[in-house]
A and B are shown apart, each in its own frame.
Chain A
């Protein structure tokens, strides 16, 4: 019988006690692994957020509030000015259009009654509406009708006919965005799930990218056609923006959108990318100065996400501390259990020494016995972690986000429904959603790393009692004789 076999046998000498020790260890190890999984998941999310929006600035017309605000439109010359600012690596101009569905009979009736659909005003001062053969993928619902039936100031007419209240047949608009690169309003690359991109984004083109829900609603696939302002466009690809609102949208080339809006050279906004996180603040200041505060508002996406990232970082910190604490607890449990076992088996240790066992052999036997208990605890703990890590991470995140919810939900210029470009559920809106979108899954790599750490701590915990065995003298064998 080898030392290992003897250690395994000893670990099961008292089955009830072994079961109790394994259960306690499993809870500690399961908690440690869950915390490690949460830590890794949150860390990855923070990294992703920083990578995606951390170095981008958004430039909107000063006073502009998307489709509702005022101010002067941005121009290609200002895009060139922005591009010349130090540390700016790219400037992507966008032009937003608000498309309304062609409803010939309703339009005619409304025109006869001297009414027009509210919300048909041009985006950012766009005169007149741009019609499309597409039907919005989102029903107006209570919110849509409430937002557009009362206090409407952006319609092209307000009813001046026979004095009766016009019957409104409101449908939500579709956002069409002309972009100079294959990125969304936040500068994040478009996720094209089928088909291809638009090729040269600076040239006019009748190719378009359609959001998944909009494509589904209108039964569009790659190669299908639809019209905007009477012009036929071909679907080059389908993209997934990740939100229902974001997928009720169309992307065109910048030049095409400007042509449709009959505002050549005008931009709704610009996405400016800075070369590093460290230069974002200084570049923002320089950009604001170069464009003039009366002409443009420069906002930093990172600022809007700061609360979310801060919350995530606090969750990361808490989970790390909890991981270390749970790990230390597991080590302490092993230490105490093994000290108890060593004290209980003093005479047996004396016997082993009397018949010629070396100190290191006995020490090794106790360390291995501890590791057998830890291995059993790790198996059960890993099972616990695989089921509980998601819930524990969610609980941590929700408690953290609820404490800072007021700040998290603040939206910057251009955020929110009808807030114009950037209000499509991008990273500038709904930071709470970012927090809750953290997925904590117990990957084998993380579990393996956690268990390695547990074993490391267990060895340290078991070494102390193992060293204690060296101090037991062989004369203990005669104790009680």
Chain B
């Protein structure tokens, strides 16, 4: 489904050259749930941004369903993010002055879905992530962290993406709420055949993954696969 080919991302700061991602290669199949662990600053978020076309690699390539992202113009990359990718961020990154429903409708609006259809789907998704109906029309800056992360997951699912990239989705949540989010991502992968790549420090979430990777010194190392519950 998605393949990273010798990805390198290099930053220059004065005389120093930093390579948080230095020759990463791996492949994920459809419906797989994979986790990447690593120390803070090890380049996990950088790798995720390369896979999601938020950033461009210094060298190497990302291939999604046989299509290379290298050399695609910005417009095509935007289309790729809109159609094939769903992002879940540690800081949620919701639009604070919009309601939960409006936030979930945004990707569908950008994809040209009709207003009535996107409103219906947004409510369905929010129910799926178990957000109380009365909170669906509430502004997201008035929701708790766990509720905001549910809205963010619903938003990531809005356009039925092939791949969900989640950057420490439980990092700002308490253990119980984090557990719910882990269950949710796991069921999405299992029930909707969605490929999910999660960057996490959470051992519980990592244990749920079909494949586990560790990023150290810019290199990705696959650890022993876990038996999925």
**Residues on A facing B (Cβ under 8 Å):** 1-3, 6, 9-10, 13, 347-348, 351-359, 361, 473-475, 477-478, 480-481
Contact = CB atoms under 8 A, between A and B. Distances in A.
Contact of A351 (B75, B95, B109): B95
Interface string B102-141: 1001110111000100000000000000000000000000
Given A353-B78, A354-B81, A356-B79, A478 B54 contact: yes
A126 to B, nearest CB: 86
B166 to A, nearest CB: 12
A316 B91 CA distance: 58
Given A348-B95, A481-B89, A481-B167, A356 B81 contact: yes
Contacts of B83: 356
Given A1-B98, A1-B109, A481-B90, A354 B45 contact: no
A347 B93 contact: yes
B155 A354 contact: no
B149 interface: no
Main secondary structure of the interface of A (DSSP, over half): helix
Nearest to B111: A356
Interface centre among A13, A358, A361 (most CB of B within 10 A): A358
Contact of A354 (B54, B97, B98, B109): B54
B78 A9 contact: no
A474 B54 contact: yes
Interface of B: 45, 49, 52-55, 74-75, 78-79, 81-83, 87, 89-91, 93-95, 97-98, 102, 105-107, 109-111, 115, 155, 159, 167
Contacts of A356: 78-79, 81-83, 107, 110-111, 159
B45 A361 contact: no
A356 B158 CA distance: 11
Contacts of B53: 474
Contact of B78 (A347, A348, A351, A358): A358
Contact of A1 (B49, B78, B102): B102
A461 B50 CA distance: 35
Contacts, number: 78
Contacts of B49: 475, 478
A414 B174 CA distance: 98
B110 A13 contact: no
Nearest to A5: B102
Contacts of A474: 53-55, 81
B92 to A, nearest CB: 10
B75 A9 contact: no
Contact of B97 (A2, A9, A480): A9
Contact of B93 (A2, A351, A357, A358): A351
A1 B52 CA distance: 26
A351 B82 CA distance: 12
A358 B75 CA distance: 7
B215 to A, nearest CB: 16
Contacts of A353: 78, 81
Contacts of B167: 478, 481
A341 B42 CA distance: 33
The 7 closest A-B pairs by CB, nearest first: A356-B82, A356-B110, A474-B54, A475-B55, A351-B93, A1-B102, A355-B107
Given A355-B87, A355-B107, 10 more contacts: A3-B109, A354-B87, A354-B93, A355-B106, A356-B79, A357-B82, A357-B106, A358-B75, A477-B93, A481-B91
Contacts of A354: 52, 54, 81, 87, 93
B156 to A, nearest CB: 8
B82 A355 contact: yes
Contacts of B106: 352, 355, 357
15 contacts: A1-B98, A1-B105, A2-B115, A13-B97, A348-B95, A351-B95, A352-B110, A355-B81, A355-B106, A356-B78, A356-B82, A356-B107, A356-B159, A475-B54, A478-B54
B67 to A, nearest CB: 16
Contact of B98 (A6, A358, A359): A6
A279 B95 CA distance: 71
Contacts of B78: 353, 356-359
A347 B96 CA distance: 12
A454 to B, nearest CB: 27
Nearest to A362: B110
B199 to A, nearest CB: 11
Nearest to B119: A1
Nearest to A358: B78
Given A9-B97, A353-B78, A355-B106, A480 B55 contact: no
A135 to B, nearest CB: 78
Nearest to B93: A351
B110 A473 contact: no
A71 B14 CA distance: 99
B81 to A, nearest CB: 5
Contacts of B98: 1, 6, 9
Nearest to A477: B93
Contacts of A351: 93-95
Contact of B45 (A1, A6, A347, A478): A478
Given A13-B97, A474-B81, A478-B49, A355 B91 contact: no
B206 to A, nearest CB: 19
A477 B79 contact: no
